[in-house]
Amino acid sequence: MLSTSLLAPRFISGQPWFASVPATLQERLRNEVFAVQGEKGEVMLPAGSTVEGWHAVLSGLVMLQSPASKGRSSAFIGAPDGEWFGEGSAMKPEPRRYHVVALRPTTLLCLPLPLFSTLRETSLAFNQFLVLHLNMRLGQAMTIIEAGRTQSTEHRVALYLSRLFWRSTRRLNLTQDELGQLVGLSRQTVNKVLRSLEGMGIVSLDFGRVAIVDDEALNAYLAATAAQ
């Protein structure tokens, strides 16, 4: 396993836009990105704190949580390993507006603001990547808002299992408690829905973790449970 000091430069070198930037900037990126670690339950990036850069999850899982709400209903979006988050905060000259909470032991990468700004100003490939990522986040946010206001508990749980939120893998390696925190529901409620989905052959539950068995059936279930 790579050490933490090597994870960040290796991750940044593997980004789809990295090869298109000048060699001098590539060297700065490898040298100046850095990693930070957090334990389960730790607020790794507090709301109100100064934004240092754009972040990605090197390993682990975080949720973005509003400090204005209390309890499980305050969770917004989860970011798994390999995924970037916080681009909106990096683009605005203001303190962070939400907590970033580790749902399990987590290592984050930070792309410092000066480098983030340089890439935005000079790299077409980086900007194309950023636009696609922003579009994905907008779609997630609008879906969450709609689901929270109009959809059933069953639909909301199924939605958080869909490819809208987990694009890279269908074995989510997500515990029922973590899923409950993201959806804003108790573990007991989530377990009841998951057992029903398991009975329909949509998911499997191995030692409390969730894997998607049939994407088409999940999509059909989402369509069937959507509010009319």
pLDDT digits (tens, 9 = 90+) for 10-43: 999 999 999 999 999 999 999 999 999 999 989 9
* Same domain as 162, residue 101: no
Indicate the pLDDT class of residue 143, thresholds 50, 70 and 90: confident
Residue 134 lies in a domain: no
The residue segments making up the domain with residue 13 are: 4-123
Distance CA(7)–CA(109), nearest Å, equals 8
- Read off the tokens for 203: 């998911």
Task: Judge if pTM exceeds 0.85.
Answer: no
26 shares its domain with 85: yes
Query: What count of other Cβ atoms lies within 10 Å of the Cβ of residue 156?
Result: 20
Is 205 found in the same domain as 98? no
User: What's the rounded Cα separation, in Å, for the pair 16 and 126?
Assistant: 8
Same domain, 117 and 158: no
Q: Using the 8-state DSSP alphabet, how is residue 100 labeled? A: E
Q: Is the pLDDT of residue 62 over 70?
A: yes
Query: Could you tell me if 202 and 214 are in contact, meaning their C-beta atoms sit under 8 angstroms apart?
Result: yes
CATH number at residue 196: 1.10.10.10
**Cα–chain-centroid distance for residue 10?**
20
Residues 173 and 100 in one domain: no
29/100 same-domain check: yes
In contact, 56 and 11? CB cutoff 8 Å? yes
pLDDT reading at 87 higher than 90: yes
- Structural domain total, the chain: 2
Exposed/middle/buried for residue 209 (C-beta within 10 Å: 0-12, 13-18, 19+): middle
Read off the pLDDT of residues 191-203 as tens digits, 9 standing for 90 and up: 999 999 999 999 8
